[in-house]
Amino acid sequence: MQAEIKPKFHHLSTTKKNGGIYEKYIKRPIDFVLALIGIIVLSPVLLIIAILVRINLGSPVLFKQGRPGLNERIFTIYKFRTMTDERDENGELLPDSMRLTKFGKFLRSTSLDELPELFNILKGDMSFVGPRPLSVMYLPYYTDEERLRHSVRPGLTGLSQINGRNTVNWEERFAYDIEYVNNITFINDMKILLKTIAVVFKREGIVVSGTGKVIDFDEYRKL
């Protein structure tokens, strides 16, 4: 199943379209209810993963980091830890590719590491569908039109995630994000969620930061 929303890579608007009834009044309550149900139903899975992370990777079990949310307000995102704390002889952390274990790669490829973000959705920091929250370091490098991705709550998944995940270039990724921002409907959200399930099961478009296969956005903008 393919989402019918198609990105417009040129002449993107620098202002967000007015949201409809679904975006203004229905999307957030649905997020809250589904996140609460998800946490309750998946609580045994969350507990098992937490135990396995503790055994395989140590403590803390959760990875916490500040990310820009709605209107670029910084919030703390929660994920299961996927890397060790291995350091070199000088006490510096080893590169990501060396600290990412086979178990950590499994968590990332199956998106199980992102299950704690259900708590972010419950709190209102995030939505099930929206632009993915990226690093705070990237904030100075966005164009005005790219900043539109911060005019809505960031998502657990989004339009760019079902169209290449981490394999598309940054301009394409942001074009998908902005196209989503201006086309928020219940039908589009359902299409994205269903497509996400297929992508996760197929483990498509997985690229790990720090392995040399993907360049960070701030470095990309400096090229």
pLDDT, tens only, 28-75: 999 999 999 999 999 999 999 999 999 999 899 999 999 999 999 999
How many whole angstroms separate alpha carbon 223 and alpha carbon 203? Answer: 30
| In 6-42, alpha helices (H) | 21, 27-41
The radius of gyration of the chain's CA atoms, rounded to the nearest angstrom, is 18
Residue 140 preceded by cis peptide, ω within 30: no
pLDDT, tens only, 104-118: 989 988 889 999 999
Where do the structural domains in the chain lie, given as residue ranges?
Answer: 21-217
pLDDT, tens only, 118-153: 999 999 999 999 999 999 999 999 999 999 999 999
- Whether the per-residue pLDDT at 205 is higher than 60: the answer is no
pLDDT given for residue 207 in this prediction: 53
Assign 2 a pLDDT band (cuts: 50, 70, 90).
very low
How many whole angstroms separate alpha carbon 79 and alpha carbon 39? Answer: 14
pLDDT, tens only, 165-189: 667 789 899 999 999 999 999 999 9
Q: What is the pTM of this model?
A: 0.85
